[in-house]
Structures are given as C-alpha cells and as structure tokens.
Amino acid sequence: MNDSNQLKGRRIAVLAADGFEKVELTIPMRALQLAGAKVDVISLRHGRIRGVNLHEPASRVHVKKTVNEANPADYDALLVPGGFINPDLLRQSAEAREFVRAFDTAKKPIATLCHGPWVLASAGLLQDRTLTSWPGIRDDVVNAGATWLDAPIVHDGNLLTSRGPQDMVPFVRALKEHFSGQDKITGEAQIPTEHASAPQHDQPPQVMINAMRWLPRPSFRALGILAIAVGIGLVRRLM
C-alpha cells in the first residue's frame, strides 16, 4: 500500500492541552497527515495551545474544536500525546475523560505515549489492560488495574502505547498500522500470559536529570506571570 494512501479517508482526533510535549504531537500528527488522514486537534479551549520541550516553552498548534464541541462519532481514531502538563490538565476535565471513553466504548483505535496514559487511567479504561508508558508513571498505571511492560510499543486490542520520544520511530510506524485497521503491529511486545508487570526502574533517566540541570534561569517575565497566577489564586480563595 502506498504510504500516502494508507490512512486516506480516515479522520483522527488528537486530544491535547497546553503543555503537550512538542515532538509527541507534531511528529505523529505530520506522519498521519502524510499517510492521508485528516487530523484535528481537540482541546480544552479555543485558539492555539502551547507545546513544551521538557519544561521549556515550544511552538503552538491550532485547536480545531473544544471537547465540548467535538463529536467522537465524527472520528475514526484518537491520539493522546504526553508531556508532564498536558495529560495532568486533561485528566481533570470531565469532558475530556468522557471524550476518551466514547472511543473505547465504540472500540475505536486509541494511541497514547509517555504520560498520556494518565488520561486513560482517570477515565477508568486501564483495568485488565496491558500497556507501556513513561517509566515514571508505571505505578499509576499498575494501580489503575493494568499490566505495565517496559517496551517500545505495546498493542492490546484497540489500545496502542509507547514509552516516549525515545521510541518515536517504532511508535509512528505502529501508529499508522493501528489507525489503518491492520490487525498485526510489527515490532510489538508480547503480552505475558501471567499478566505480570515489569519491575520499577531503580534510577531515573540520566538524560532527564542532565537536561533539567542545564535549563536556563527563569526570566523576569516568567516570574511575573507566576506571581500573578499565585495572586489570583489567593484572591479567589479569600473571596
């Protein structure tokens, strides 16, 4: 099959909020578009939402519809990118949780990576499922009732998961297969019959420690925004 026609006619929803990890949205989204899919970004608000590279601000993407406006029935599949902030915001939204549930109820393909499974956990969709994620949320996934594997990609029924940016190449390849309706995902981890989760990591990834160590100091503008946000929060609590 010609790659440019692999997803022709498919409509894909990307559920994201401010703080999405840039590479986890933009690279899969572009790959889906090049494969012929129509891709809409669905979010909590209108306008353009801000991406991040770790904790550093990155470029924005345009929001097509909010979760209140979008109809899951209009889409063939769902992608939930990760990042630290994005899934934390989404999992606190009743509308976002219901949006994700609608895809699972209809048995439509869902794909997520990194911290994205947080949203599925809060939506109550991980009981008796097998998946992977960023290793740091392994315990959250297990406590939500799932079996966690330390693998680049895991395919369980209508759910495709990946650990994060380090596995982007196999994830994008598997993503296109998953969303095209193919049954077999090449390179997927074998789901253990005993449903035993992989153990916790003993050390956090050194690359993250090094990256955070060398981030620049906050600007006066950032400190000003933080002070305003804290002030607004205090005023609301006192009212």
Mean pLDDT of the chain: 89
Residue 4's pLDDT is what?
77
Residue 200's pLDDT is what?
86
Q: Does the pLDDT of residue 162 top 90, yes or no?
A: yes
Q: Which domain holds residue 22?
A: 3-200
Tens-place pLDDT, residues 207-220: 777 766 666 666 66
CB atoms within 10 A of CB 139: 12
Residue 205's pLDDT is what?
77
The residues assigned a catalytic role are 115
Answer whether residue 187 is part of any domain: yes
55 vs 69, more confident: 69
pLDDT band at 184 (very low <50, low <70, confident <90, very high): low
Answer whether residue 41 is part of any domain: yes
Answer whether residue 129 is part of any domain: yes
Q: Please, where are the H alpha helices in the chain? A: 22-34, 86-90, 94-105, 117-122, 138-143, 168-179, 206-213, 220-238
> Which tokens is 71 given?
């109809």
Answer whether residue 238 is part of any domain: no
Question: Once rounded to an integer, what is the mean pLDDT over residues 54-61?
Answer: 88
Residue 185's pLDDT is what?
57
pLDDT band at 227 (very low <50, low <70, confident <90, very high): low
Q: What are the φ/ψ torsions at residue 233 (nearest 5 degrees)? A: -65, -40
Closest C-alpha to 161, from 90, 198, 113: 113
Tens-place pLDDT, residues 123-141: 999 999 999 999 999 999 9
Answer whether residue 225 is part of any domain: no
Longest dimension (CA), the chain: 62
Q: At what angle do helices 22-34 and 168-179 cross, to 10 degrees?
A: 40
Answer whether residue 234 is part of any domain: no
> Which tokens is 76 given?
């063939």
The residue with tokens 């895809």 is 103
Q: Which residues lie closer than 8 Å to 4 by C-beta, 6 or more apart?
A: 34, 35, 36
Residue 210's pLDDT is what?
73
- Residue 26: CATH number of its domain: 3.40.50.880
Tens-place pLDDT, residues 5-41: 899 999 999 999 999 999 999 999 999 999 999 999 9
Q: Which of 39-48, 104-113, 183-192, 199-208 has the lowest mean pLDDT?
A: 183-192
Answer whether residue 219 is part of any domain: no
Beta strand pairing call for 20-21 and 153-156: unpaired
Sort 202 into a burial class: Cβ within 10 Å, 0-12 / 13-18 / 19+.
exposed
Residue 33's pLDDT is what?
97
Enter the DSSP assignment of 9. Answer: T
What's the domain count of the chain? Answer: 1
Q: Report the predicted TM-score, pTM, of the whole model to 2 decimal places.
A: 0.86
